[in-house]
Amino acid sequence: MLSREIMGALCLGVLWVTALLVAAAAWQDFRDLRAIVRRTRKMIEGVVKGGDLAEWSVEQTGRATDDDAIAFHDRSFHSEVFGGKVGVDGSAERDIVANAKGEVWVGERAREEAASCGDVTTYDAAHAIARKAKGFARTVRVRVRAGERVWVVGDGEIVSTFDPRAWARNKSFLVLAFIPIELACCAAATRLALSVPHFGTMSIIGAVACIAFFLGVTPVAVALRESVRRPNEAFLRTVWSRKALLHNDVPARKALRS
Amino acid sequence: MLQRVASRFLGVKYASDVRQVWTVATYYALLASMFFVPACRNVVFLGAACAFSFLSAVVGHNTLHQGMFESKRMNMVWRYVLSFGGLFPISAVIPSHNLVHHHFDDDGQPDWAAPEHVRFSWNLLNIVHFPNVAGPLTFNGVQRWARLAGKGEFRKQYTRELVFAFGLTGALLVWDFWTALFFVVVPQLWGARWFLRINIIQHDGCDTTTEWNHSRNFVGKIFNWFMMNNGYHTIHHNRAGMHWSELAKAHEKEVVPRMDPTLDEPSMLWYLARTYLLRFSRPAKRVGTEHEEMGARLTRKAQAEADALA
């Protein structure tokens, strides 16, 4: 006979193994982010001189949705450092060599702007293709151009339009904060489940909290993991909504009404 | 003879599918026994319920590849039965397994259940942790896929299965909380999580870019009787539409002459012990050599996508 005590202990054991594994996986992400921070010790900051220094791009497929929108799926990410000159401290210039394997990190706003739709005419043309099985294929590109402030790690291993060290530090603190918070939530749910009298009402509330934690912590952990993906491979996944376009585009709305 | 009579009575397309009905019925009987009869709340019943929960998910997998019943309505009802069994909408298998996993590719991005999503040095942790990553990735992917145009019916069915699975489980929890938690929810989650883990077991270390060496096969006869031949995984990937009862013969005929023979494992238990208990590190990935046959997979993928979008 399996008593409630045995089964309760077993379930709490599984709960804690899961919580600890989620924490350990987060620690792996933390370690990766600290490695980026260490790499940025050899980093320069300056302004791009001359032509384009680098390009980030993502190939996407857009597919129509039932709520009159196009949802884009990221197929593959590409980065290329073309090479060029970066002006450091006003007068000095540093040569950046071309690096086909270099990572190009561009800001979120620049990516979103490059991926935005523009107008209803563009949307309608794309939507007609997006309704078909193959979808609407496009490449979103962002170039790091002359005059832009950049941070270059190593010999063009990372070319970024924002401070990579600050990014990696912020993300690593986020991941680091997640670990004790996650374990504290698990401990709180466990404490509640072990309330006296055992298997009483409070204990049931605690068990419900444990189930909620068990089912909820992994999606949160995966979302966190995706949020700390290296910026050159961070998901873009834009959605073009006709409704939103019409809302923002008064002339287009008038033209459609007429 | 008995099987043929039973298959007519049940309205299944293949006589062998009686075994699938029997598997799920046994699982439900085990759950009911433990829920209603205190004497059945023991290690034997719980262990059997957990094992049959996983087998019930395997039945779900087979059913989503090929409707088991003649009647379309019965196939839909069967999905509710299977959804409660694993506490997840079984229709999620269509995008996650049929459309993504079978091609090891989410339209350019990794399969939601790719073994590479876990990366502990201690290999045992990889198999234990795998569902914690593959599960959310799968459900996020299913949500994105379900949003697309023409998936209205899928969304309705998915929601109904979700409501049925969680509704019935919730009702049991209200009726008798601890019994339902320990003897219904535990087997449900066990089955669902091992159903995800089977992906890492069958593909970790294999070269998924190859035509014949992308999967590990478990070829034990008794194992495959209970598993509805799902041990023959290479042929299942390459011929997703083939009925499970035909996989063993097709494996011998089509896969064995072409595959790396070390990917045929006589026993899953021995493989698990050898890979996750008797060694610390993760085995190195094999690199295949027969990329020239990739054309066949691309053709299959195009066909599957066309079928799904039709």
How does pLDDT run across B163-180, given as a tens digit for each residue?
Answer: 999 999 999 999 999 999
Nearest to A54 by CA among A31, A84, A27: A84
Half-sphere exposure of B225 (CA within 13 A, CB side): 2
Q: Report chain B residues whose CB lies below 8 A from the CB of A65.
A: 147-149
CA distance A150 to chain B (A): 29
The β-bridge relationship of strands A84-88 and A69-81 is unpaired
Question: Tens of pLDDT along A44-68?
Answer: 999 999 899 999 999 999 999 999 9
Q: Report chain B residues whose CB lies below 8 A from the CB of A63.
A: 148-149
Per-position b or e across B148-177, b if 16+ CB within 10 A of its CB: bbebeebeebbebbbebbbebbeebbeeeb
Q: Which helix (H) or strand (E) holds B193?
A: helix B186-203
Asked if residue B69 has pLDDT above 90, the reply is: yes
Question: Tens of pLDDT along A27-46?
Answer: 999 999 999 999 999 999 99
Q: How high is the pLDDT of residue B305?
A: 58
What's the alpha-carbon Rg for chain A, to the nearest Å? 25
Q: How high is the pLDDT of residue B301?
A: 61
CA distance A222 to chain B (A): 6
Which of B41, B108, B125 minimises the CB distance to A75? B108
Which of A28, A222, A237 minimises the CB distance to B119? A28
d(CA A220, CA A231) in angstroms, rounded, equals 20
CB B219 within 8 A of CB B238: no
Asked if residue B291 has pLDDT above 70, the reply is: no
Query: Are the beta carbons of A11 and B118 separated by less than 8 Å?
Result: no
Query: Is residue B297 very low, low, confident or very high in pLDDT (cuts 50, 70, 90)?
Result: low
- Among residues of chain B, what percentage have pLDDT more than 70? 92
Query: Are the beta carbons of B42 and A207 separated by less than 8 Å?
Result: no
Query: Are the beta carbons of B132 and A218 separated by less than 8 Å?
Result: yes
Asked if residue B268 has pLDDT above 60, the reply is: yes
- B219-225 long-range contacts, Cβ below 8 Å, gap at least 24? B219/B251, B219/B264, B219/B265, B219/B266, B220/B266, B220/B267, B220/B268, B223/B267, B223/B268, B224/B248, B225/B19
Q: Report chain A residues whose CB lies below 8 A from the CB of B306.
A: 133
Question: Tens of pLDDT along A80-136?
Answer: 999 999 999 767 889 999 998 999 999 999 999 999 998 899 999 999 999 998 999
Asked if residue A164 has pLDDT above 90, the reply is: yes
Q: How high is the pLDDT of residue A149?
A: 96
Q: Report chain B residues whose CB lies below 8 A from the CB of A225.
A: 133
Query: Are the beta carbons of A2 and B118 separated by less than 8 Å?
Result: no
Q: How high is the pLDDT of residue A253?
A: 42
Which of A11, A59, A65 minimises the CB distance to B108? A59
Report ipTM (2 d.p.): 0.91
Position B246, amino acid: E
DSSP designation for A53: -
Query: Is residue A256 very low, low, confident or very high in pLDDT (cuts 50, 70, 90)?
Result: very low
Q: Quick one: average pLDDT of A154-181?
A: 97
Q: Which residues contact B97 (CB under 8 A, 6 or more apart)?
A: B61, B64
Tell whether A71 is within 8 A of chain B (Cβ).
yes
Using DSSP's 3-state secondary structure scheme, residue A93 falls into: strand
Asked if residue B292 has pLDDT above 50, the reply is: no
Lowest-confidence range among A20-24, A128-132, B301-305?
A: B301-305
Average pLDDT in chain B: 93
Query: Is residue A244 very low, low, confident or very high in pLDDT (cuts 50, 70, 90)?
Result: confident
Helix and strand numbers, DSSP H then E, in chain A: 7, 10
CA distance B278 to chain A (A): 20
Question: Tens of pLDDT along B17-60?
Answer: 999 999 999 999 999 999 999 999 999 999 999 999 999 999 99
d(CA A255, CA A42) in angstroms, rounded, equals 55
DSSP designation for B100: I
Asked if residue A258 has pLDDT above 50, the reply is: no
Tell whether A4 is within 8 A of chain B (Cβ).
yes
Asked if residue B131 has pLDDT above 90, the reply is: yes
Nearest to B238 by CA among B304, B309, B310, B286: B304
Asked if residue B286 has pLDDT above 80, the reply is: no
Which of B109, B148, B182 minimises the CB distance to A64? B148
d(CA A26, CA A41) in angstroms, rounded, equals 24
